[in-house]
Amino acid sequence: MPGLSRRPRGDSHPARDAAALVLRTTLGPMLVAHGWNKVAGPGGLQGTTGWFEALGLRPAAAHARLAAGTEIAAGAGLTLGLAAPLPAAGTVGLMAVAAATDHRGKGFFVFKGGWEYVGVVGGAAVALAALGHGRYSLDTALRRRDRSGGGAALTAAGLGLAGATALLAACYRPDQKTEDEETSSMEAPTSP
C-alpha cells in the first residue's frame, strides 16, 4: 500500500518490538473475549441481537454476528501479529460504531456510559498500526514486509472510520420501530 513504511525485516528495534508485543497481547485477547461474549455469553447471540435492535442497528441479527466475528478476527490478528494494519482498522471501525451508538450522548467517562473506553481502544489500535506488529509476530515469521509508520496508522484510522461511517449510514436507524414493536403497539389496549 502506498505510504506505508516498508522496513526490511532485519531492521529490528527491541524496545519497539516489545511495545508492539505488549499492545498486541493486551488488545487482541480483550477483543476476542468481547466477540466470544457476544456469541456465548449469558444472553448469547439472541441477547446481543436484542441489544443491537435496541441500539437501532438493522438488521440486528446480522450486526450481532458481524460485530462478534469482527471482534474475534481483529483480536486474533492483533494477538498473532498478522496482516498489519488490517486488524487495527477493524478495531477502529468497531470502536467508532460503538461510540456512535451505545456510547453516544453519554459524555466522556465510561462509568457513565461514555466513550472513554472505545476512544482508548481505538487510539491504541492506531498506535499499534504505527508501531507495526514487530519482530515477534506471524507477519515476521511469514516474512511479510513490515507495514508500520504514519501511513499504516492513517490507513488503519481511515479504513476503520470509513467502514464505520458506511455501516452507520446504511444500517443505523435508532428512531425506526421494528415490525414487532409496531404490531404490539397496534394490539395494545387503549385507555378510555
- Does the model's pTM come out above 0.75? yes
Residue 146: the pLDDT is: 83
pLDDT classification of 96: cutoffs 50, 70, 90: very high
Residues 38-53: pLDDT tens digits? 999 999 999 999 999 9
pLDDT classification of 69: cutoffs 50, 70, 90: very high
Residue 89 near residue 159 (C-beta atoms within 8 A): yes
The residue among 84, 86, 176, 99 whose CA lies nearest residue 131 is: 84
Average pLDDT, rounded, for the chain: 90
Residue 95: the pLDDT is: 98
Q: Please state the rounded mean pLDDT for residues 95-101.
A: 97
Position 105 pLDDT exceeds 80:
yes
Position 190 pLDDT exceeds 70:
no
Residues 147-167: pLDDT tens digits? 899 999 999 999 999 999 999
Position 2 pLDDT exceeds 60:
no
Looking at the DSSP bridge assignments, the partners of residue 147 are 6
For cell 501511513, name the residue: 151
Q: Please state the rounded mean pLDDT for residues 185-190.
A: 50
Position 174 pLDDT exceeds 70:
yes
DSSP symbols for 145-170: PEEESHHHHHHHHHHHHHHHHHHHHH
Residues 5-47: pLDDT tens digits? 454 445 668 999 999 999 999 999 999 999 999 999 999 999 9
Q: Is 169 exposed, middle or buried (0-12, 13-18, 19+ CB in 10 A)?
A: exposed
Q: Indicate the pairing of strand 146-148 with strand 5-7.
A: antiparallel
